[in-house]
Chain A
Amino acid sequence: MQFKLTVSAALAAVVAMTEPGLAQFGGSAAGQRLANMPVDPYPSTYVPRSWPATAIVGATVHTGTGATIEHATVVMQGGKIVAVGPDVVVPEGTAIIDGTGKYVTPGIIDAHSHLGVGAEPTLASTSDVNEATDPNTAEVWAEHAIWPQDAAFVRSIAGGVTTQHILVGSANLFGGRTVVVKNVWSRTVQGMKFPGAKQGLKMACGENPKRVYGSNKRSPSTRMGNFAGYRAGWIKALEYQYEWDQFRAKQKKGDPDAKPPKIDLELETLSAALRGDILVQMHCYRADEMALVIDMAKEFGYRVTQFHHAVEAYKIRDLLARENICASVWADWWGFKMESFDGIEENAALLNAAGACPVIHSDSNVGIQRLNQEAAKAMAAGRRMGLNISDGDAIRWVTLNPAKSLDLDDRIGSLEPGKNADVVLWDGNPLSVYSRAEKVYIDGALTFDLNDPAMQYRSDFEVGQSDKEIVR
Chain B
Amino acid sequence: MKTFISLAFASIFLATAAATTATAEPVAIINATLHTGGGAGTVERGTLVMDGAKITAVGAGVPIPDGATIIDAGGAEVTPGFMNPYTHLGIVEIEQEGSTDDSDSGEMPYKASLDIAPGLNPASVTIPVTRVKGVTRAASVPDFSKSIFAGQAALLTLGDGEDFAVTPRAAMHVTVSEGAKRLIGAGRGAVMAMLRQAFDDTRYYARNRSDFDNNRARATALDRLDLEALIPVVDGRMLLLVDARRASDIRNIIALATEQKLKVALVNAEEAWMVAGELAAAKIPVIIDPSDNLPNRFEALNATLQNAARLHEAGVAVAFFAGGEQLANNPRNVRQLAGIAVANGLPKDAAYAALTTVPAAIWGIAERYGTLEPGKDADAVIWDGDPLEVTSAPTHVFILGRPISLETRQTKLRDRYRDLSGGGPGIGYR
Binding site for B on A (CB under 8 A): 120-122, 151-152, 155, 207, 314-315, 317-318, 332-338, 341-346, 350, 354, 364-366, 369-370, 373, 376-377, 379-380, 384-385, 431-436, 461-462, 465-467, 470-472
Contacts and interface: CB of A to CB of B under 8 A. Distances in A.
A276 B165 CA distance: 57
Contacts of B93: 335
A152 B301 contact: no
Contact of B340 (A121, A317, A433): A433
Given A335-B329, A350-B417, A472 B293 contact: yes
Given A341-B94, A344-B414, A380-B392, 12 more contacts: A155-B293, A314-B417, A338-B94, A350-B417, A354-B420, A366-B292, A373-B336, A380-B391, A385-B418, A461-B295, A462-B295, A466-B295
A317 B324 CA distance: 30
Contacts of A462: 295, 301
Interface residues of B, number: 49
Nearest to B307: A470
Contacts of B393: 380, 384
Nearest to B96: A337
B335 to A, nearest CB: 9
A112 B40 CA distance: 47
A379 B420 CA distance: 20
A151 B296 CA distance: 9
Contact of B344 (A152, A379, A471): A471
Nearest to B410: A344
Given A466-B302, A467-B302, A336 B328 contact: yes
B297 A121 contact: yes
Nearest to A375: B390
B294 A470 contact: no
B391 A432 contact: yes
A335 B328 contact: yes
Interface of B: 93-97, 125-126, 274, 291-298, 300-302, 304-306, 324-325, 328-330, 332-333, 336, 339-340, 342-344, 388-393, 410-411, 413-414, 417-418, 420, 423
B314 to A, nearest CB: 14
Contact of A472 (B298, B305, B339, B413): B305
A299 to B, nearest CB: 22
Contacts of A344: 410-411, 413-414
Nearest to B348: A434
Contacts of A318: 420, 423
B295 A370 contact: no
A162 B329 CA distance: 30
A379 B293 CA distance: 26
B391 A379 contact: yes
Given A336-B325, A336-B328, A337-B96, A466 B301 contact: yes
Contacts of A338: 94, 96-97
A471 B305 contact: yes
Contacts of A121: 295-298, 300-301
Contacts of B410: 334, 343-345
A436 B417 contact: no
Contact of A122 (B291, B293, B297): B297
Nearest to B323: A366
27 contacts: A120-B296, A121-B295, A121-B298, A121-B301, A318-B420, A332-B330, A332-B332, A333-B329, A335-B95, A335-B126, A336-B95, A337-B94, A338-B96, A341-B94, A342-B413, A346-B414, A354-B420, A380-B390, A380-B391, A385-B418, A431-B390, A432-B390, A432-B391, A436-B343, A461-B295, A470-B306, A471-B304
A366 B339 contact: no
B342 A434 contact: yes
Nearest to A350: B417
A141 B407 CA distance: 45
A270 B94 CA distance: 34
B329 A336 contact: yes
Contacts of B411: 344
A151 B411 CA distance: 38
B340 A431 contact: no
A315 B430 CA distance: 14
What are the 9 closest A-B residue pairs judged by CB atoms, nearest first?
A: A433-B339, A380-B391, A335-B329, A337-B96, A336-B95, A470-B304, A466-B301, A122-B296, A376-B390
Contacts of A152: 294
A436 B297 CA distance: 26
A434 B96 contact: no
A342 B94 CA distance: 11
B301 A433 contact: no
| Most chain A CB inside 10 Å of its own CB: which residue of B274, B293, B297, B423 | B293
A342 B413 CA distance: 7
B304 A472 contact: yes
B291 A366 contact: yes
Nearest to A208: B96
Contacts of A376: 390-391
B221 to A, nearest CB: 30
B294 A465 contact: no
Contacts of A155: 293-294
Given A121-B297, A335-B329, A433-B343, A317 B420 contact: yes
A157 to B, nearest CB: 13
